[in-house]
Amino acid sequence: MPLLTGAEPYRREGGEAAVLLCHGFTGSPQSLRPWAEHFAEHGLTVSLPLLPGHGTRWEDLRATGWQDWYAEVDRELRLLRDRCSRVFVAGLSMGGALALRLAARHGDAVSGVMVVNPANRVHGVAAHALPVLRHLVPATKGIASDIAKPSVEELGYDRVPLHAAHSLRTFLRMLDGELPQVTQPLLLLRSPQDHVVPPADSARILGRVSSLDVTEVLLEQSYHVATLDHDAERIFRESTAFIGRLAPGAVKEPGLGREGTTTGG
């Protein structure tokens, strides 16, 4: 299937410090593109891949699972490590969970973690019925575009395939047991008004990780997709400052690097 316009992955060659960004469940790189471009403008090497099953039609997501999504970001991390001395991982929602697992699994290969409204579990009564329900109902209503800012939309599916939702639930339960292995500096940004991921998920993550360097930022003006919302610029500033503190000299003044590249497929 052809990619939806705007769902293309984004890559940018920059300096010795890199950022790998992971988008959310049923979403696409579009939700993180401004964040990725901000990093690129400040001289960082950037990779924002498209996760398998995303960016086309919801039926394609039904045939994938957490192993496919994690394998994609794991591969990107290894490629970045081959050419960069420092790699930071970042993510929104499920992408935040993927970033946390990269940190847990790769240890010192990850220099720091930045997550926005990270997911820790699939909520709702129906979540417990997913093992059976997914064989009876193909999909339910979508979760995209939880944004407070008027006239801004997230490019995501309007349906959630339950086979994929079941796989996500399995992944989050597994990750919860791995969170104590996360020791890297952590920047967690969350929206008190989030209609997709409740505050309890961030609280659980903060209570489970072993990181000693932890910064929590509240995004008071935004909903779930805060990277496209009123607090987007704050996310950009906080994350750039986070990288600059941990990798002195890595963050450059804008306008000194090459243009980014967008690739499809």
Tell me the catalytic residues. 93, 194, 224
CA separation for the pair 102, 107 (Å, rounded): 8
Concatenate the DSSP letters of all residues of 175-212 into one string.
HHHHGGG--S-EEEEE-SS-SSS-HHHHHHHHHH---S
Contacting residues for 5 by C-beta, under 8 A, at least 6 apart: none
User: Is-contact 179 113, C-beta < 8 A?
Assistant: no
Does residue 16 sit in helix, strand or coil? Answer: coil
Tell me how far apart the alpha carbons of residues 204 and 176 are, in angstroms, rounded to a whole number: 9
Q: Are 148 and 178 in contact (CB under 8 A)?
A: no
Distances (CA, A) of 90 to 6, 25, 146, 199: 20, 14, 19, 19
Biggest CA pair distance of the chain: 55
